[in-house]
A and B are shown apart, each in its own frame.
Chain A
């Protein structure tokens, strides 16, 4: 259909139901006879469980691990040497290892009744010293989260280039320390799962709020000890995932066990306190980066030590390795780093397991690297913008394989930075800064540039050796008897708008109007296998598979169409949902009619696969296609309160060919808003006893509508040479740069005061503390 395929600014098909409140989420489902569960959760970070006492008379409504016959411990393996897997019990046994860890499952007719029961369960603890901080976790004598490990190091990786030789000839040595706080992901919809046993199918039907239904099916079957055919996982409407919903939750396993045992529908809906304190924890990295540079600030070598606080357990299937592996590999970012030494420590602590959150390690590495670039600029006495520009991989070097063997497929990184500077009005801001502001605030401008490895496939994940490695992504397309199209994919769309974009891709090939294309996703019973939606992969992988399947289908349609018109196949093409011959044309409706209803009219050599195609796709190389972006931000900072206001925010992004530019913008806005949250607001602080200090939205602040400025987006388009239509992934990108760009802007504003910030979130208190410390240093000197 002309104008509605790739590149069209089509309104999302999903919007109608969501904007009218007609979406259907797990929380909207309540089959008759459904019971609800609440979990008894640990109030302490680290303790031995001496005894669990069920309330009298309620023994059959309270379940501990001992009751969960056949349920296995969750163990996520990895091939990485030095990795220590953890046995993550569905319900705590022996020890509790974080506040919020589920200990017992209570069932009632309502959630309130289940909570009443949970309140009556008595757990007798023998307190153990908690491990609350990742740096202290490495100190000798620290308590051990997993005694059998002998230390708290879950994974250690290193790369040892010869730094000393470079250091000897470097003009400058600059060390930047920084820390990204532990935060939660906070999708609008928390976790939810509803499990029922279907007697007719002999199947557990699991409606769960997940990004990865096929992975969860495997996970549930494995951990329940039943066959995969006995589990059907359906992700209904999912209100945001951001990575939290791509791992198997212990609660999911427990609820499924109970539904199978009791044969009645069981539902668990995570509440916001559980979400903040017990589940969706993310980020928490610490960096010490030392850069060696020449006189102008050109980087000669980077020497980094990275710590990641992964909490108590390794999540299935992505493991606790993901963050540090990505951190070590992605720290060089879009910059040319000739020599690189890095040592990463993945630390277990008495906190909830770290899950991969939008961008995974990249917001942290971008924060570390781009703060380092600005620190270099200050040291060598040049503009950070210019030093950044000089260190970026130039367009002339593309395609470029960097020091960690990342293959940058296409793009012009310096151009994106130049555009961002122009859009933000960089020179005008430098002029403005020469005069004091009337309100006494300080103005700062900051930049950050990143690459976003997207849709990395088999070769990357198999090197990590995690339980499930993505392979050939499959899609099914089926011409309907009336000329419409069904598309079925195993990925899951939960805000990405894939019901629209995948229809656009099919439309691009088949010329059917997207209005007549249905996309079915997120149901293991209806779709080809897929590892699901994560790592900004779906538009490349599922989109590529839809394209390939559509290309096969269009050939078959043309063959039938040519036969019906009695012309050669070489003489026909498709347009506007018709097979067009030299003198006449046939509507796809006719093709459908003939295949399904009047097969006597088919050609003798018709493809017996019919008008339905399932095929697989993987880009070559499958190491990932690299989207990239430069962000620029202007802040106004009140030096007496530390309050930071974002005055302007600019994104210049390049994700190759845009399937739907409005959806690209929407993903960018949402990502930047989340990045602003990381930069300025969001944190689950833990005290020295391992108690979470933010358990409601009273203490856990999210950016609101009034805190996110109008984000101005500009695009450049560098198609990937290696993917269908040159599409790159881009779902995570928006969230990657804001902590770095905003920190650099704050530090730019603080420069006259000699103060700097280096940890997220950059709260008024932290900013003010930096200012007062600088003042104290000055008066001491």
Chain B
């Protein structure tokens, strides 16, 4: 369990990181906290020729509230969010989700941008940020672009990021003070990846109602039919009916329906 040979570069800034990646001809990988990349390299499942370390880029740890939007640099760690060392615009949802990611040791190093770029379907940030209607900033050789989470998350472990693009930050719309959220996941034991995640946001002031199902083995999905029924609790059987055509086996469907049902029910529980 030792990685194959690779070159390592400590990027001095975002432009430097992009240049380094661009020079690696598609074989470079960005490393922030290294909580997914390093195990994959040790197992030789990932054998990048160049690892571009972005952990030293101060700009990527920036976090600020402005214009009705929370900006979190991609290098912000889960622990910083959990400890509320970054501003919150989500009525406590981001710190709640952060506190449930893996173990504290992982949260100390793992970053929000790294988790999104890795796009593990069972991870927390893709589901949580999708339900919040967030978007990501990416910078490549041809400049910067912003992508909605819907557009960014393509599939399991697959994003719309180009191999020479660096995910630099996340933009999270600010929830209204009266907006409500819920986040319900089923894990076999504390700290493990989720088997299902139900997440909901109800923000009538902004006209936002979103429900996301995560932990399904695919990219997290918006569940429009459930979002339409966000005004009152949703039973497991009704949730299962909504998921009927989603192609889950009966046990998975029941589990996912339970997560959806509980997420929606909890949004009504003060």
A residues adjacent to B (C-beta < 8 A): 110-112, 115-116, 119, 271-273, 640-643, 681, 696, 698, 701, 703-704, 706-707, 763-765, 768-769, 772
Q: How far is the CB of A111 from chain B (nearest CB, A)?
A: 5
A116 contacts B39, CB within 8 Å?
no
What residues of chain B lie closer than 8 Å to A704, measured between beta carbons? Answer: 189-191
B188 contacts A696, CB within 8 Å?
no
The interface-forming segment of B2-10, B18-26, B91-99, B149-157 is B2-10
Bound-state CA distance A763–B255 (Å) is 13
Task: Please give me the residue from chain B that is nearest to A271 by CB atom.
Answer: B1
B258 contacts A641, CB within 8 Å?
yes
What residues of chain A lie closer than 8 Å to B5, measured between beta carbons? Answer: 116
A273 contacts B1, CB within 8 Å?
yes
Bound-state CA distance A3–B44 (Å) is 56
Interface residue from A272, A273, A642, A707 paired with B190 (Cβ < 8 Å) = A707
| Extra pairs beyond A640-B255, A640-B261 (7, CB < 8 Å) | A111-B2, A115-B1, A273-B43, A701-B192, A704-B191, A768-B251, A769-B251
Bound-state CA distance A110–B1 (Å) is 12
Bound-state CA distance A601–B189 (Å) is 69
B195 on interface, CB distance cutoff 8 Å: yes
Bound-state CA distance A112–B41 (Å) is 12
0 or 1 for each of B75-93: is its CB under 8 Å from A? (1 = yes) = 0000000000000000000
Interface residue from B39, B186, B188, B254 paired with A772 (Cβ < 8 Å) = B254
What residues of chain A lie closer than 8 Å to B57, measured between beta carbons? Answer: none
What residues of chain B lie closer than 8 Å to A707, measured between beta carbons? Answer: 189-190
Contacts A640-B236, A703-B189, A706-B190 given; does A768 touch B254 at CB 8 Å: yes
Task: Please give me the residue from chain A that is nearest to B193 by CB atom.
Answer: A698
Q: How far is the CB of B101 from chain A (nearest CB, A)?
A: 14
Bound-state CA distance A272–B1 (Å) is 8
B residues adjacent to A (C-beta < 8 A): 1-5, 39, 43-44, 186, 188-193, 195, 236, 250-251, 254-255, 258, 261
Q: How far is the CB of B97 from chain A (nearest CB, A)?
A: 19
Contacts A701-B189, A704-B191 given; does A765 touch B1 at CB 8 Å: no
Q: How far is the CB of A209 from chain B (nearest CB, A)?
A: 17
A768 contacts B255, CB within 8 Å?
yes
What residues of chain A lie closer than 8 Å to B236, measured between beta carbons? Answer: 640
What residues of chain A lie closer than 8 Å to B190, measured between beta carbons? Answer: 704, 706-707
A701 contacts B2, CB within 8 Å?
no
Q: How far is the CB of A184 from chain B (nearest CB, A)?
A: 15
Task: Please give me the residue from chain A that is nearest to B36 by CB atom.
Answer: A698
A696 contacts B39, CB within 8 Å?
yes
Instruction: Provide a sorted-by-A list of 17 A–B residue pairs whose CB atoms are within 8 angstroms.
Output: A111-B2, A112-B2, A115-B4, A119-B44, A271-B1, A272-B1, A640-B254, A640-B255, A640-B258, A696-B39, A701-B189, A701-B192, A703-B189, A704-B190, A704-B191, A707-B189, A765-B195
What residues of chain B lie closer than 8 Å to A696, measured between beta carbons? Answer: 39, 43
B3 contacts A112, CB within 8 Å?
yes
Bound-state CA distance A273–B2 (Å) is 11
B39 contacts A764, CB within 8 Å?
no
B189 contacts A763, CB within 8 Å?
no
What residues of chain A lie closer than 8 Å to B254, measured between beta carbons? Answer: 640, 768, 772
Bound-state CA distance A765–B256 (Å) is 12
Q: How far is the CB of A692 from chain B (nearest CB, A)?
A: 13
What residues of chain A lie closer than 8 Å to B261, measured between beta carbons? Answer: 640
Bound-state CA distance A703–B189 (Å) is 8
What residues of chain B lie closer than 8 Å to A772, measured between beta carbons? Answer: 250-251, 254
What residues of chain A lie closer than 8 Å to B2, measured between beta carbons? Answer: 110-112, 115
What residues of chain A lie closer than 8 Å to B4, measured between beta carbons? Answer: 115-116, 119
What residues of chain B lie closer than 8 Å to A273, measured between beta carbons? Answer: 1, 43
Bound-state CA distance A642–B43 (Å) is 32
What residues of chain A lie closer than 8 Å to B255, measured between beta carbons? Answer: 640-642, 764-765, 768
Task: Please give me the residue from chain A that is nearest to B196 by CB atom.
Answer: A641
Bound-state CA distance A698–B191 (Å) is 11
Bound-state CA distance A111–B255 (Å) is 43
Bound-state CA distance A116–B39 (Å) is 17
Contacts A116-B4, A696-B43, A768-B251 given; does A681 touch B189 at CB 8 Å: yes
What residues of chain B lie closer than 8 Å to A769, measured between beta carbons? Answer: 251
Find the residue from B1, B258, B261 having the highest chain A CB count within 10 A: B1
Find the residue from A119, A640, A765 having the highest chain B CB count within 10 A: A640
Bound-state CA distance A469–B3 (Å) is 44
Task: Please give me the residue from chain A that is nearest to B39 by CB atom.
Answer: A696
What residues of chain B lie closer than 8 Å to A111, measured between beta carbons? Answer: 2
Considering the complex of A and B, which 9 residue pairs feature the smallest CB-CB distances, nearest first? A112-B2, A271-B1, A640-B258, A706-B190, A769-B251, A641-B186, A707-B189, A115-B2, A768-B251
B191 contacts A643, CB within 8 Å?
no
B188 contacts A764, CB within 8 Å?
yes
Interface residue from B3, B43, B195 paired with A764 (Cβ < 8 Å) = B195
Q: How far is the CB of A767 from chain B (nearest CB, A)?
A: 10
What residues of chain B lie closer than 8 Å to A116, measured between beta carbons? Answer: 4-5
Q: How far is the CB of B141 from chain A (nearest CB, A)?
A: 32
What residues of chain A lie closer than 8 Å to B193, measured between beta carbons? Answer: 698
Q: How far is the CB of A402 from chain B (nearest CB, A)?
A: 38
What residues of chain B lie closer than 8 Å to A764, measured between beta carbons? Answer: 186, 188, 195, 255
Task: Please give me the residue from chain B that is nearest to A269 by CB atom.
Answer: B1
Bound-state CA distance A768–B4 (Å) is 42
Interface residue from B39, B44, B186, B251 paired with A643 (Cβ < 8 Å) = B186
What residues of chain A lie closer than 8 Å to B258, measured between beta carbons? Answer: 640-641
Q: How far is the CB of B29 from chain A (nearest CB, A)?
A: 18
Q: How far is the CB of A466 from chain B (nearest CB, A)?
A: 34
Bound-state CA distance A696–B254 (Å) is 28
Q: How far is the CB of B48 from chain A (nearest CB, A)?
A: 15
A765 contacts B39, CB within 8 Å?
no
B250 contacts A643, CB within 8 Å?
no
Bound-state CA distance A111–B261 (Å) is 50
Find the residue from B2, B43, B190, B192 having the highest chain A CB count within 10 A: B2
Q: How far is the CB of A54 from chain B (nearest CB, A)?
A: 19
Bound-state CA distance A272–B254 (Å) is 34
Task: Please give me the residue from chain B that is nearest to A769 by CB atom.
Answer: B251
Q: How far is the CB of A35 from chain B (nearest CB, A)?
A: 14
Q: How far is the CB of A642 from chain B (nearest CB, A)?
A: 8
What residues of chain B lie closer than 8 Å to A768, measured between beta carbons? Answer: 251, 254-255
Bound-state CA distance A640–B254 (Å) is 7
Interface residue from A110, A112, A115, A763 paired with B188 (Cβ < 8 Å) = A763
Task: Please give me the residue from chain A that is nearest to B192 by CB atom.
Answer: A701
Q: How far is the CB of B217 from chain A (nearest CB, A)?
A: 13
Bound-state CA distance A238–B191 (Å) is 28
Q: How far is the CB of A191 from chain B (nearest CB, A)?
A: 14
Bound-state CA distance A7–B190 (Å) is 38
B186 contacts A706, CB within 8 Å?
no
Task: Please give me the residue from chain A that is nearest to B44 by CB atom.
Answer: A119
Task: Please give me the residue from chain A that is nearest to B187 by CB atom.
Answer: A643
Bound-state CA distance A765–B188 (Å) is 10
What residues of chain B lie closer than 8 Å to A640, measured between beta carbons? Answer: 236, 254-255, 258, 261
Bound-state CA distance A701–B236 (Å) is 28
Task: Please give me the residue from chain A that is nearest to B2 by CB atom.
Answer: A112
Q: How far is the CB of B219 from chain A (nearest CB, A)?
A: 19
Find the residue from B43, B189, B193, B195 having the highest chain A CB count within 10 A: B189
What residues of chain B lie closer than 8 Å to A703, measured between beta carbons? Answer: 189
Bound-state CA distance A356–B27 (Å) is 45
Bound-state CA distance A115–B251 (Å) is 41
What residues of chain B lie closer than 8 Å to A112, measured between beta carbons? Answer: 2-3
What residues of chain A lie closer than 8 Å to B1, measured between beta carbons? Answer: 115, 271-273
What residues of chain A lie closer than 8 Å to B186, measured between beta carbons? Answer: 641, 643, 764
Q: How far is the CB of B263 from chain A (nearest CB, A)?
A: 13
Q: How far is the CB of B251 from chain A (nearest CB, A)?
A: 5
Q: How far is the CB of A41 from chain B (nearest CB, A)?
A: 12
Q: How far is the CB of B28 from chain A (nearest CB, A)?
A: 20
Bound-state CA distance A25–B189 (Å) is 30
Task: Please give me the residue from chain B that is nearest to A644 by CB atom.
Answer: B188
Find the residue from A111, A116, A641 having the highest chain B CB count within 10 A: A641
Bound-state CA distance A770–B120 (Å) is 29
Q: How far is the CB of A777 from chain B (nearest CB, A)?
A: 13
